[in-house]
């Protein structure tokens, strides 16, 4: 027995040792998991060694691929976001703009597909678009266009979205028929074609072009017939067919198609909600009120869990409120009124451009008033009136303060705008050195030879013209090294000729650069404050905001908001009028 265990012991450690001597290649590791389906965490027994190997060897393209695969096979959304961030970091280290663009699309897709957070998704897609401008990868270019189109579609820009989806359909359809391509490429192009087709249907439905809607639905259903790999896409076309039948008052048929769609929707809670809503409305039309209310409540369950509701489904809560109003059930009426207020808040936040177009039977103020009545139904009316009066007074004071603050912001915006328009937005030069005391500086400073000073000033001019100040983590020591001098000389030259110390000089250059970009290039108005800070080399969002305010007299968020209004053609008072209003107060 001792000999037997000894042999087993030797064989076991020999096996482990042999694995260490002959580690698997990247290709072998990837083959180990590529047959697994999405969200299958078994893949990580191969992905984790893949990541460690790529880190150890500093193979950033491989590390990018490993993290990209980790996103696909992770089960939780939080982990998907975490791996997407790591994928983006590896993409930047690989110095490939195509990989950087792909990584931004990947992260944006998680926000959109898994979380239905359209604003952060749009931020990621805009960054992907920025890095894909010069790409020769047409698949990547069209993938970026598709995702931008999806967000534009949900924000209500149907015509703009439609143009993007037409291009995507043409590209993906052509590539899907390329028999020389790899089977995975063909699959991805088929999927891209079907999803683009579905988005076109949504656009045409919003535009009420039902003839085109029906034509594209038939194509989609034909292309996905008996195709198990595209079951979810078939669910989208069945959903579209159900909505079309509902529009034609074919309620039994609508319920049938929408029920089939539900079975194929998997985890897409947004479109599941649409299925439930129109199943409920169909039952309502068929005078089957109990079945209708049952489906409407399923939408509320999804909303409670996901905190997401399409503007189209706002009516769901109006129907539930009216139903329980008819039943004299104040408790349920209050609950669904509160849910509707919450839904309105989320719709306004996530669909800022779309929400004003949505028909609202219940005005927000009326809802608040109704909610108050229901909550205070058994409380003495006088107390309620006093509370309302106090609230009204508070709101008036708050609004007045906000109005004064907005006037001040607008005045500062116009002053800054005037400088930008007249090309007077430059850093104030100074020939006076910054001093901290009254002692003789000549006794404390080393004299810098005039030739060295002139050379340094020329180098600083090139440094400014080439926007090298946007480098991250730039210090005076690093810049001195780049300019072939020492930090002491450089500090003296900047103090004497720029009228400020190095940190103020660097911050001033960065803020003026990003302000100019915000004024001249509209795309920057869509960036987050974090992204803008990184764009000009500032690591901290707060530092960026404080510096922007110090130099421009206005916060970046206020500048962006007013600039967007100006571009959109929203009428604003002139700077003269603003000055007059301020002087009156």
pLDDT tens track of the chain, all 585 residues?
555 555 555 455 554 444 444 457 888 888 888 788 888 899 899 999 999 999 999 999 999 999 999 999 998 889 999 999 999 999 999 999 999 999 999 998 888 888 877 778 878 888 888 888 788 888 988 988 898 888 777 777 788 889 989 999 999 999 988 888 877 788 889 999 999 999 999 999 999 999 999 999 999 999 999 998 899 999 999 999 999 999 999 999 999 999 999 999 877 889 999 999 999 999 999 999 999 999 999 999 999 998 888 888 989 999 999 999 999 999 999 999 999 999 888 877 665 533 332 223 323 433 455 556 566 554 555 566 677 777 777 776 776 677 667 777 877 777 777 777 777 777 655 434 444 444 444 544 445 578 888 888 998 999 999 999 899 889 999 999 998 888 888 898 999 888 899 999 999 999 999 998 988 888 988 999 999 999 899 988 999 999 999 998 999 999 998 888 888 875 455 444 444 433 433
Other C-beta atoms within 10 Å of 491: how many? 15
CB of 537 closer than 8 Å to CB of 507: no
Alpha-carbon gap, residue 532 to 514, rounded angstroms: 7
CATH number at residue 485: 1.10.10.60
Alpha-carbon gap, residue 81 to 362, rounded angstroms: 37
Cβ-based neighbours of 429, under 8 Å, separated by 6 or more: 497, 498, 499
Whether 355 is in a domain gets the answer: no
Whether 521 is in a domain gets the answer: yes
The size of the chain, in residues, is 585
Burial of 410 (0-12, 13-18, 19+ CB in 10 A): buried
- pLDDT of 220 reads 95
Whether 161 is in a domain gets the answer: no
Alpha-carbon gap, residue 29 to 20, rounded angstroms: 14
Counting Cα atoms < 13 Å in the Cβ hemisphere of 123 gives 14
Q: Which residue in 210, 208, 204, 102 sits closest to 161, CA to CA?
A: 204
Whether 577 is in a domain gets the answer: yes
CB of 547 closer than 8 Å to CB of 507: yes
**Pseudo-torsion of CA 302, 307, 311, 316, nearest 10°?**
40
- pLDDT of 181 reads 83
Owning domain of residue 518: 459-584
Look at residue 44 and give its three-state secondary structure. helix
Angle at the Cα of 360 (from 357 to 363), degrees rounded to 5?
A: 125
Number of domains in the chain: 1
**Residue 315, token pair as written in the block:** 């009516």
Question: Could you tell me if residue 177 is left (phi over 0), alpha (psi between -120 and 50 degrees) or otherwise beta?
Answer: alpha
Q: pTM of whole model > 0.85?
A: no
Alpha-carbon gap, residue 47 to 73, rounded angstroms: 9
Whether 364 is in a domain gets the answer: no
* For helices 183-206 and 138-154, angle between their N-to-C axes, nearest 10 degrees: 30
Whether 351 is in a domain gets the answer: no
Alpha-carbon gap, residue 29 to 46, rounded angstroms: 6
Alpha-carbon gap, residue 537 to 519, rounded angstroms: 18
CA distances from 388 to 68, 340, 391, 394, 401 (A): 54, 21, 5, 10, 20
Whether 493 is in a domain gets the answer: yes
CB of 33 closer than 8 Å to CB of 73: yes
CB of 280 closer than 8 Å to CB of 300: no
Alpha-carbon gap, residue 538 to 546, rounded angstroms: 11
- pLDDT of 67 reads 92
Whether 36 is in a domain gets the answer: no
**Residue 147, token pair as written in the block:** 């995702």
- pLDDT of 575 reads 45
Alpha-carbon gap, residue 371 to 378, rounded angstroms: 13
């Amino acid at each position: 027995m001792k000999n037997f265990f000894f042999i087993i012991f030797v064989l076991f450690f020999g096996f482990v040792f042999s694995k260490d001597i002959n580690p698997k290649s990247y290709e072998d590791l990837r083959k180990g998991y590529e047959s697994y389906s999405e969200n299958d965490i078994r893949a990580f027994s191969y992905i984790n060694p893949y990541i460690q190997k790529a880190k150890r060897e500093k193979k950033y393209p491989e590390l990018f691929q490993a993290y990209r695969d980790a996103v696909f096979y992770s089960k939780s959304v939080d982990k998907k976001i975490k791996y997407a961030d790591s994928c983006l970091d590896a993409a930047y280290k690989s110095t490939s703009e195509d990989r950087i663009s792909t990584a931004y699309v990947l992260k944006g897709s998680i926000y959109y597909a898994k979380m239905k957070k359209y604003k952060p998704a749009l931020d990621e897609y805009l960054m992907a678009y920025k890095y894909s401008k010069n790409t020769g990868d047409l698949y990547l270019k069209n993938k970026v266009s598709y995702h931008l189109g999806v967000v534009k579609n949900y924000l209500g820009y149907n015509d703009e979205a439609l143009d993007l989806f037409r291009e995507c359909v043409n590209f993906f359809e052509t590539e899907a028929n390329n028999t020389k391509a790899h089977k995975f490429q063909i699959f991805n192009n088929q999927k891209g074609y079907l999803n683009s087709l579905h988005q076109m249907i949504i656009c045409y439905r919003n535009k009420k072009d039902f003839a085109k809607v029906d034509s594209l639905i038939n194509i989609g259903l034909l292309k996905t017939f008996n195709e198990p790999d595209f079951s979810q896409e078939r669910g989208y076309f069945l959903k579209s067919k159900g909505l079309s039948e509902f529009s034609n008052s074919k309620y039994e048929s609508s319920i049938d198609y929408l029920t089939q769609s539900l079975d194929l929707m998997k985890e897409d809670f947004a479109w599941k909600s649409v299925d439930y809503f129109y199943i409920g409305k169909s039952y309502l039309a068929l005078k089957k009120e109990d079945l209708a209310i049952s489906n409407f409540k399923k939408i509320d369950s999804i909303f409670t869990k996901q905190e997401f509701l399409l503007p189209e489904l706002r009516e769901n809560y109006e129907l539930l409120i009216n139903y329980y109003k008819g039943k004299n059930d104040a408790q349920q009426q209050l609950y669904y009124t509160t849910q509707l207020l919450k839904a309105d808040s989320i719709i306004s936040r996530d669909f800022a451009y779309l929400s004003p177009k949505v028909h609202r039977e219940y005005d927000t103020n009326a809802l608040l008033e109704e909610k108050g009545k229901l909550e205070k139904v058994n409380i003495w009316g006088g107390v309620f009136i006093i509370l309302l009066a106090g609230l009204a007074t508070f709101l008036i004071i708050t609004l007045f303060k906000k109005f004064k603050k907005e006037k001040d912001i607008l005045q500062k915006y116009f002053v800054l705008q005037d400088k930008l328009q007249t090309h007077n937005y430059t850093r104030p030069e100074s020939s006076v050195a910054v001093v901290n005391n009254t002692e003789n500086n000549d006794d404390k400073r080393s004299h810098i030879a005039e030739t060295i000073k002139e050379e340094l000033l020329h180098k600083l001019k090139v440094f400014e013209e080439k926007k090298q100040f946007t480098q991250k983590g730039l210090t005076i020591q690093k810049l001195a090294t780049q300019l072939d001098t020492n930090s002491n000389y450089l500090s003296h030259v900047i103090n004497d000729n720029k009228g400020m110390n190095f940190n103020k000089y660097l911050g001033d250059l960065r803020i003026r650069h990003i302000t100019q970009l915000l004024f001249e290039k509209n795309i920057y108005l869509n960036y987050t404050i974090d992204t803008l800070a990184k764009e000009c080399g500032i690591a901290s969002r707060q530092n960026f905001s404080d510096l922007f305010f110090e130099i421009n007299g206005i916060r970046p968020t206020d500048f962006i908001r007013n600039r967007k209004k100006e571009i959109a053609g929203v009428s604003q008072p002139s700077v003269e009028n603003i000055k007059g209003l301020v002087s009156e107060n």
